[in-house]
Amino acid sequence: MKTIFAITLAVLVYFVQVAQGADTAKASYRFDQGNPGLTLSGNASVKNGLLVFNGPGQAVLPNSAQFHITPAGLTMTAVLRFAPKPQGHDLGEDIFSKGREWLFSRHGNGTLYLSHSGDGKKFHGGIRSGRVIPAGEWAHYAAVFSRIQRQGQGETGYLQKVYINGEQVGQAQVLDVEPLTSDEPVVFGYGLAKDAWAMSGEAAEFTIEKRAWSDDEVEQDAIACGKVKTSGAIKAELTAPFIKALQDLPPHQRTALERAGRAGADQSLLGKAAEMLSQGQKQDAIRLLSTEQLEAMFIVRGGNTVFPLISLYDKRAQREIFGRRTL
């Protein structure tokens, strides 16, 4: 009897921790002990330790109106297994949405879509990048909003990044647009397109947190879920001086150098070169080749085991073509 009481108490404490009030900075949900306080409707249900969408349905997060995009950032992750699509259905599926504030979706061709609004009418950024994960296969999906504050260039805004199985697969920057805030809750599996883009499949777990995660944190979360294979390319942690040295670079250049640093490049040498590059000074470690459409970044000194070409950026689409697997 004491054992049953202890288990029941532990479950109740878990539910309370997840669904506590408006100061909640992070909410994580697993379903191996039933429904942890979500408001389910339509064809959404919890079965066999999974959140199941067998047709259009919604999972509304309690006390979630405060999950806005702020200077601290915002992160969403989900471990999902999408169901096969009916023949002739080539639309996508909404993963997370918060009214007209922001939206994270998966297109029918496997690419991910992440966007946010400043006025509730027009959405900005709109990453369309990723790769196809076959129906019925588990995958870890993540989206991160982080603050852009480049004082030297007078630029402020937000960087949007998306990941599949711990690997960044796309990014976009939105400048001079402050995100909308509203009292609408976060909804999992359903968005503005309603039934047309409703999720069909299963979720093992998902998390939302009011801060921007690093690439390392996203990859570690993908590894920890135990359901997907990751690239495992991280060899070194980024040092604080190296991170600071990159802060005035454009986001795609900063991301490429961070990726190189994790893969074993000389952070001290490249950090000094990056500071000189951002100030328009000559340096001999990093080279940029640019055309009207593409920008390529090479490491010519300090790359160690890193392949010299570390970034190929599509300027028109504002997306990185390289991913972590390229190194």
Residue 207 binned pLDDT confidence (cut-offs 50, 70, 90): very high
Residue 271 backbone zone (phi > 0: left; psi -120 to 50: alpha; other: beta): alpha
Q: Which residue has the higher pLDDT, 7 or 130?
A: 130
What CATH number has the domain bearing residue 147? 2.60.120.200
Residue 231 in domain: no
Strand extents, DSSP E, 233-308: 286-290, 294-299
Residue 70 binned pLDDT confidence (cut-offs 50, 70, 90): very high
User: Both 260 and 220 in a single domain?
Assistant: no
Provide the 8-state DSSP code for 232.
-
Query: Per the structure block, which two tokens stand in for 109?
Result: 């061709």
Residue 34 backbone zone (phi > 0: left; psi -120 to 50: alpha; other: beta): left
User: Both 221 and 256 in a single domain?
Assistant: no
Find the range with the poorest average confidence among 11-15, 23-27, 61-65, 72-76. 11-15
Residues sharing a CB contact under 8 Å with residue 173, sequence separation 6 or more, in sequence order? 125, 148, 157, 158, 159, 160, 250, 251, 318
User: Both 221 and 252 in a single domain?
Assistant: no
The last residue of a domain, from among 174, 200, 225: 225
Residues sharing a CB contact under 8 Å with residue 60, sequence separation 6 or more, in sequence order? 38, 39, 40, 41, 185, 186, 187, 188
User: Both 18 and 152 in a single domain?
Assistant: yes
Distance, C-alpha 140 to centroid of its chain:
10
Give me the torsion for CA of 25, 163, 43, 10, rounded to 10°: -40
The last residue of a domain, from among 225, 252, 283: 225
> Is the pLDDT assigned to residue 25 strictly greater than 80?
yes
Find the range with the poorest average confidence among 31-40, 179-188, 200-209, 228-237. 228-237
User: Both 42 and 66 in a single domain?
Assistant: yes
> Is the pLDDT assigned to residue 23 strictly greater than 50?
no
**pLDDT tens digits, one per residue of 127-162:** 777 788 888 999 999 999 999 887 666 788 899 999
**What pLDDT score does 17 carry?**
39
Specify the number of domains making up the chain. 2
What range does the domain containing 215 cover?
A: 2-225
Residue 319 backbone zone (phi > 0: left; psi -120 to 50: alpha; other: beta): beta
> Is the pLDDT assigned to residue 87 strictly greater than 90?
no
User: Both 282 and 135 in a single domain?
Assistant: no
pTM above 0.75, yes or no: no
User: Both 68 and 186 in a single domain?
Assistant: yes
Strand extents, DSSP E, 165-219: 167-175, 187-188, 201-209
Residues sharing a CB contact under 8 Å with residue 312, sequence separation 6 or more, in sequence order? 294, 295, 296, 297, 320, 321, 322
User: Both 206 and 127 in a single domain?
Assistant: yes
User: Both 73 and 160 in a single domain?
Assistant: yes
State the chain's mean pLDDT as an integer: 83
User: Both 211 and 280 in a single domain?
Assistant: no
User: Both 217 and 246 in a single domain?
Assistant: no
Residue 14 binned pLDDT confidence (cut-offs 50, 70, 90): very low
Residue 233 in domain: no
**pLDDT tens digits, one per residue of 224-257:** 888 887 765 556 778 889 989 998 988 888 888 8
